[in-house]
Structure 1
Amino acid sequence: MNLLSSPRTGVILLEIDVEKREVAKREISATGPVDAALQLHRERETWRLDPLSPQIPVVFGLGPFVGGRLYGVHRLIFVFKSPQSGTLHVSALGGAAYKAMGMGAQAVAIVGKAERPTAVFIAGGQVSFTEVEVGKDAYSLIRRLYESNREFFVANDARALVVGPAAYTTYNGAIVSVDIEAKSGEFKLGSEDFAARGGPGTALAQGHNVAAVVVGGPRRPLHEKVADAEAINQLFKQKMGKSYVEVLNEKTVKYRYDPKIGTGGTFGVNYPHYRDLLPLFGYKSIYMPREERIKHADIVLELFWRPFQREVFEKGKSWYNCGEPCPVVCKKVWRGKKVDYESFHAVGPFIGNYIFEEAVPPVDKIDRLGLDAIEMGHVVAWLFDAVHHGLLKPEEVGIGERPAFDPLQFRPKEDSRLNAKLAAELIDGLVEHATEVLALVAKLGIRRAARELERRYKDRVRETGVKFRDLAVYAAFGTEGYMTPNFYWAPGLVAPMYILGRYWSNYNPTFMPPEDFAKSSYERAVAELYIDNAGICRFHRGWAEPVLSDLYKLIGLTPPSPALYREFAYYAKLAGAEPMPWESKRARDLVSTLAKELGAKDWQFTDFDDYYEWWTRFKEQLDRLVLST
């Protein structure tokens, strides 16, 4: 079936039914892949269905600016009903849209459920299917796909998007992709990336039995004007007083190389920047006095940050991009492994591991199994803390001994090695359902598992005076959904927003009255939504946000409106998954401790009523803003 098309208006969508092996093409009047996916979910009333229903589409697509003279516009955007939060979620995979622009459509919706694990091949408007073995390693699956379909990869300069075994056994499976040299089959350094937050891999694997999607084909811009360098420069000079490249270099300096601090990338910059505000030991650091946090930060900088700094910046520039031609080269690679703040912090300082080299194996394990690294950091820290408090025994979570999880008694070198080793054991055990507790967590996630564990081990809860839920940090959605925050001491990451787990909120380490905080978080959420809908990397948001409306007009499209965010809010309400008040003590304390740290005088949070009032006033103000757009 030839579906090759070069759209000029709207979004060309391929709806692929993997059960019937049928393909339908349609055009949707939309501003980008998120907009198109929202319309599809609304039409199908997917809010009525279980997140893993085969009737719920996993939608992925690219923004309208691909293939031209703009950099950082080739993110592949996934929209799905999250098995973790219970509502719609958006996740992004860097660079993959550079090759996906040849697939003959701007967006794809996967529906139905294949009888056996299936790979879908899309290029130049043609769609084909083949059964595959998932295996034990997402990277190996990419390799096997290449070896058995080399002609397709070479002819279409294709890129594979795959799941790992974790997508079939846990709630938080990722979609994994490593760009590949089509002729040699070699992986491109630094190009591994993951659409992970919220469990898109789980939705694809358990909902549709799709283990891989391979995209490629003849590349060309969706809109001719994005290839007009003169028109782009003229736009930037009028709007920002400088050429496009000048603005680009200025606004992406953090991610490339910041000469002021002699480093770059999220890992390089965040540790010296946040220092004593870094969350350590599952956020237990929020209870530590500043002097003690500074001591820990100094050790982290020496043992965790400096080895990376020496290798990646002082010995030589081991910098790469995500698979699209981009001069920012934000992907910093240490001995063949891409290093980002979130993934390394997850199994580094957040779980009580301050040695950089010790974090590399568990990060690689998480990536190869196809897990969400941020969520795994929370799971490991939570279960470590439960063992530390006596709520669980080591063998009940598949580890050989007790972790070292008291930051005040922590021995940086000895205990880091222990915790990193135990984390690797726990991660394997979670994917393999090695114990009853790990199987429970793998199936239900932290929030529901915490409730069940409190029921099963009520005697231990009573004896210790500690609830399982109070050792975790998450925002609740509806009766069962939840989302853990990115690794910042930031109230906005657990505030009552309709999409969390990414940066759709005010994620700064700040505190303010709830109405003001809601306004700042809403504005940030809408801006981030626009960037995702445009398929633009958020590392490029500094230059993109001020001119995004003008760029849409340049290519003859109507810019998106805040009504897009209202659609997410409306969907969450229909799905019974709108934000709910904090039920975890540590989540509440994340807010109150930062308020105290910053000297807030109007909010003392002396009892639960204070927390509830702040949360409620934030939510009411957010809803007023949502409804006013």
Structure 2
Amino acid sequence: MIILEIDVERRAVSRREIDASGPVEAALAIHKERETWRLDPLSPQVPVVFGMGPFVGGRLYGVHRLIFIFKSPQTGTLHVSALGGAAYKAMGMGAQAVSIVGRAPTPTAIFISQGYVKFAEVKPGDAYETINSLYREFKNFFLENDARALVVGPAAYTTYNGAVVSVDVDVRKGEFKLGAEDFAARGGPGTALAQGHNVAAIVVGGPKRPHFEKVTDAEAINQIFNKSFGRPYLDVLNEKTVKYRFDQKLRTGGTFGVNYPHYRDLLPLFGYKSIYMSREERVKHADLILQLFWKPFQEEVFEKGRSWYNCGEPCPVVCKKVWRGKKVDYESFHAMGPFIGNYLFQEAVPLVDKVDKLGLDAIEMGHLVAWLFDAVHAGLLKPEELGLDDTPAFDPARFDPHGDSKKNARLAGHLLDNFVNNSTEVLALVARQGIRKAARELEKRFSDRVKAAGVRFRDLAVYAAFGTEGYMTPNFYWAPGLIAPMYIQGRYWTNYNPTFMLPEDFAKSSYDRAVAEAYIDNAGICRFHRGWAEPVLAELYALVGVKPPTSQLYRDLAYYAKLAGAEPMPWESKRARDLVSTLARELGAKDWKFEDYDDYYEWWVRFFSTVNRLIFATPTTV
């Protein structure tokens, strides 16, 4: 792989080649060289690496994800985050990956095309307005290179939770492309760029040429698929991506359209308080959500007209479902919807838009808002300590789906702004330290309230712990695998199904999924395309003459976490433990009653021991 190494402090650029099959493997090599496990995640000497896989520019679809690899200020170890579609324009930047080090003296934009790099000062602000400003000021660069901007929002400079935001622009019209907005968000890559390097924007473009000519050979590609599936490529692609395009059985599509009717009463609500409800209660809430939250989207996007788009690469799956100009995905809308006690779809739209413009990770913000709402509800915090003028409605049993949804949405909007602005002492603490560390500090600061309420701050949150300070909140599924002791969480690098089994079996299924997901990210392939890509990935690498990765890839990520002091740690939060035990009871598990902490600890240890045995066994190939 050709790597551009950019020192933004010295404004120096070098170019070199690394023997790697994809951006994750290349980033691991760079971080090993620099021994970054010794350094603070926001040190200027800790690189943020982004790049693409070897399959760009040809006849394969869904292979144009731009992959960010960085030392996360949230977990304390390496994290991998993906941004859809951007590699379609980044393939012209003259390298397959970029490594950024140093700290610029002022907020800086980096322009990359055909191996050439330019720098400019930029005034960071609203992420969408930053993209607009870049386009207006550097229009010639966008036009000449058909470029795409990757920017941070204000949250990257004031919180641990900044995302990298990209909205593709139609360079001829100077307009945002509907649906072509995406985010590398989990783990704080925007914060790593902004606070670590003072990089506020990266603009990439250039001639759209494949890195390997064989990816343009439709006949060779079809031979691979005919051999593995007995059908040509496009037939297999259409079958394997049904959920994301349009599911005839459910008469809907996309993650938002499918997940609500599919998961129904297993949806996590009110910061996972729904795990304590009876099934009858959960069904009542699910019916309300389908009527008030899902149906408005369904009617607009699927029944009145098909408002479907892609992420910026010419992909036939058109997984981006757009409601009145706003892209709708399950995770972001659930975060600003039912998870925080808002069952009205129209109330969630401006909240998701605010999250996006501020440049925040939507999943983390759903957890953070729910946690703080619950802390107020429990009497651990006062509304004014969060800059709020009212108490959130956070009791599912007494919830008014109309009035309380509107109130909670209004309060959430204020809370998002207050969090990014560090408007109160409590929010400044949370913005600097994140949920896990802040919860400990708040327990000391408000020990009298903790005693009176009979519950700790940490027990209202759900997260997987790493080392002494790191953590990651789960995606929005009632699934033990999302908080199980895996070395990278917050993505789908685990068994994320609502299931329960013996810890050894669960660990094996989670490890297998993690390795497969690592391969897909390393290849720059959208995970919506994993159904066709995973079975033939080795053959696709052979097609382009690149040695495929082995499970050494995940092993190296795990070993880095050990060196960084950010290994998985046992559950600290009661609600995190309850997520496991309540699902076990829901599914009728007979062998695990989870009657005391020792039961949880035994399950966790057996899971982690099995994972480590699998990781450090002989590497297997793709």
TM-score by length of structure 2 reads 0.99
- Say what the alpha-carbon RMSD is for the aligned residues: 0.4
Give 1:67's match in structure 2, choosing from 53, 57, 60: 57
Q: Distance in 2 between matches of 1:533 and 1:482?
A: 23
Counterpart residue number, 1:88 = 78
Q: Distance in 1 between matches of 2:198 and 2:616?
A: 38
Does 2:28 align with 1:29?
no
Counterpart residue number, 1:50 = 40
User: Can you list the C-alpha shifts for 1:542-565, whole angstroms capped at 9, x where unaligned?
Assistant: 000000000000111111100000
Does 2:582 align with 1:586?
no
Shift of 1:260: 0.6
Does 2:466 align with 1:477?
yes
Q: Distance in 1 between matches of 2:544 and 2:205?
A: 24
- 1:189 match: secondary structure: strand
Q: Distance in 2 between matches of 1:114 and 1:409?
A: 52
Counterpart residue number, 1:412 = 401
- 2:588 match: secondary structure: coil
Counterpart residue number, 1:8 = none
Does 2:307 align with 1:318?
yes
Paired residue total: 618
- 2:347 match: secondary structure: helix
Gaps of 5+ in 2: none
Map residues 30-179 of structure 1 onto 2, 5 A cutoff. 30-135=20-125, 137-179=126-168
Counterpart residue number, 2:609 = 620
Counterpart residue number, 1:468 = 457
Q: Distance in 2 between matches of 1:554 and 1:164?
A: 40
Q: Distance in 2 between matches of 1:107 and 1:92?
A: 13
Does 2:411 align with 1:454?
no
Counterpart residue number, 2:542 = 553
Runs of 4+ in 1 over 3 A off after TM superposition: none
Q: Distance in 2 between matches of 1:262 and 1:279?
A: 23
Q: Distance in 2 between matches of 1:434 and 1:327?
A: 45
Shift of 1:185: 1.0
User: Can you list the C-alpha shifts for 1:419-441, whole angstroms capped at 9, x where unaligned?
Assistant: 00000000000000110000010
Counterpart residue number, 1:375 = 364
Counterpart residue number, 1:296 = 285
Counterpart residue number, 1:340 = 329
Does 2:10 align with 1:20?
yes
Q: Distance in 2 between matches of 1:30 and 1:336?
A: 39
- 1:171 match: secondary structure: coil
Q: Distance in 2 between matches of 1:462 and 1:327?
A: 57
**Given residue 71 of structure 1, which amino acid in structure 2 is its aligned partner?**
Y
Q: Distance in 1 between matches of 2:428 and 2:194?
A: 18
- 1:188 match: secondary structure: strand
Give 1:350's match in structure 2, choosing from 318, 335, 339: 339
Counterpart residue number, 2:258 = 269
Counterpart residue number, 1:402 = 391
Does 2:422 align with 1:433?
yes
TM-score by length of structure 1 reads 0.98
Counterpart residue number, 1:490 = 479
Q: Distance in 2 between matches of 1:456 and 1:406?
A: 25
Counterpart residue number, 2:232 = 243
Q: Distance in 2 between matches of 1:169 and 1:325?
A: 36
Q: Distance in 1 between matches of 2:329 and 2:97?
A: 28
Does 2:187 align with 1:205?
no
Shift of 1:398: 1.4
Shift of 1:72: 0.2
User: Can you list the C-alpha shifts for 1:285-340, whole angstroms capped at 9, x where unaligned?
Assistant: 00000000000000000000000000000000000000000000000000000000
Shift of 1:20: 0.1
Identity %: 77
Q: Distance in 1 between matches of 2:174 and 2:81?
A: 27
**Given residue 374 of structure 2, which amino acid in structure 1 is its aligned partner?**
D
Gaps of 5+ in 1: 1-10
Counterpart residue number, 1:562 = 551
Q: Distance in 1 between matches of 2:300 and 2:172?
A: 30
Map residues 212-291 of structure 1 onto 2, 5 A cutoff. 212-291=201-280
User: Can you list the C-alpha shifts for 1:332-375, whole angstroms capped at 9, x where unaligned?
Assistant: 00000000000000010000000000000110000000000000
Q: Distance in 2 between matches of 1:532 and 1:140?
A: 29
- 2:176 match: secondary structure: coil
**Given residue 55 of structure 2, which amino acid in structure 1 is its aligned partner?**
F
**Given residue 23 of structure 2, which amino acid in structure 1 is its aligned partner?**
P
User: Can you list the C-alpha shifts for 1:577-606, whole angstroms capped at 9, x where unaligned?
Assistant: 000000000000000000000000000000
Shift of 1:539: 0.3
**Given residue 26 of structure 1, which amino acid in structure 2 is its aligned partner?**
R
**Given residue 248 of structure 2, which amino acid in structure 1 is its aligned partner?**
P
Counterpart residue number, 2:522 = 533
